[in-house]
Structure 1
């Protein structure tokens, strides 16, 4: 009993933090209710499932591995390898933080809404992933500046949809954005060179990277 009591004592949330989390719950609930009065936000909620799939960790990981396998272009090696590392890093960090924080997901106002297998809420992995990908594509391996607006719009829609879909509280999304920025900065430090990226891909494939011919 003493051991159980000590365990419960450790799980107690500090009063100030508990108050902040309660405010977060209240503000999130009001935001979702008021968002339904705004056409643009109502549209994001309607398409929330699409945004969820568009930034799902498994979808991105499987899709990126397929992208690496299908497109053998030396100009892409650096982006392919570093983004793969970033995606794996994001999945690990989000899982570790969720396991440590253990904040429960919101209870949807519509009780019929699917909660999903992941019961922990902080931080939002979809938001961290979207922000991290945007940093990679805008700063570390820049795409055309003309693609910035749709990229930023996608990141915004993914982040907002997590709240409107009642999968996360607002602080979860803010935490996810902060984690995404941290991951982007970390990848800036860890960013592998073109030659190192090519060597890694060469070690994972039997194909010659300069011609796509099989070794004989």
Structure 2
């Protein structure tokens, strides 16, 4: 009984969620009736995999391990920290809110486990926005890269709704969380010297310029 009371959803929030579900449904129907969006359906899976947490984390661990360039180590260590932070915050938020995914949803290409069975917030949206924030503010790439980065993040976020993985509020919540990830990482940014020291601990080879380089 106590658990039921604790999980009782306020009527105002119920109304908001109901409108969100209805607006999302209408948007998906409208978008999928447009030829352009219909032709993009085959690309949704690719967008899904391109921002999935498992490939991103695995790729950056491999990239950091194989290319321990002293000029890249600060970026490598910090983006790994940011990705880990994002995964933890998304998992905690989903476990707390426990919003069910849209009824039309099917498991994503790499499956869903643990808190990821829940819908709010969208982990793909938060991760894509965090990546954009990271490479435009924290570790800026050449400005020519900004357009493709923003287009990719926008496409990933939209595809989550069009695939019926999430409601619109889930994606908006994920976008806000991605910005929060970036702000938090900016606050706890690991310096180049500290990053080299950390890498020297987990690597057999010492990085040039690191505190323990031999």
27 and 73 in structure 1: CA distance in 2 versus 1, 3 angstrom threshold: same
Alignment deviations for residues 6-45 of structure 1 (CA, whole Å, 9 cap, x no partner)? 2212211000000000000000000000001333433443
Write the distance in 1 (CA, Å) between the matches of 2:170 and 2:40: 18
Alignment deviations for residues 144-165 of structure 1 (CA, whole Å, 9 cap, x no partner)? 1001111000000000000001
Whether 1:6 aligns to 2:8 is no
Q: What SS is found at the alignment partner of 1:146?
A: helix
Equivalent residue for 1:86?
A: 82
Alignment deviations for residues 95-139 of structure 1 (CA, whole Å, 9 cap, x no partner)? 00100000000011xx7x446433200000010001011111011
The equivalent position to 2:13 in structure 1, one of 13, 17, 22, is 17
The equivalent position to 2:68 in structure 1, one of 72, 77, 80, is 72
How far did residue 174 of structure 1 move?
0.2
Alignment of 1:24-173 (within 5 A): 24-108=20-104, 113-114=106-107, 116-117=111-112, 118-173=116-171
Write the distance in 2 (CA, Å) between the matches of 1:38 and 1:77: 45
TM-score by length of 1: 0.91
How far did residue 191 of structure 1 move?
0.8
Residue-pair matches, total? 206
The structure number with the bigger radius of gyration is: 1
Gap regions ≥5 residues in structure 1: none
Write the distance in 2 (CA, Å) between the matches of 1:6 and 1:164: 37
Write the distance in 1 (CA, Å) between the matches of 2:117 and 2:89: 16
TM-score by length of 2: 0.91
175 and 64 in structure 1: CA distance in 2 versus 1, 3 angstrom threshold: same
How far did residue 47 of structure 1 move?
1.1
Gap regions ≥5 residues in structure 2: none
Q: What SS is found at the alignment partner of 2:49?
A: helix
Alignment deviations for residues 179-200 of structure 1 (CA, whole Å, 9 cap, x no partner)? 0000110111111111111111
Write the distance in 2 (CA, Å) between the matches of 1:44 and 1:136: 27
Q: What SS is found at the alignment partner of 1:47?
A: helix
Equivalent residue for 1:182?
A: 180
Measured on the aligned residues, the alpha-carbon RMSD in Å equals 1.7
Once structures 1 and 2 are overlaid, which stretch shifts more, 35-44 or 132-141? 35-44
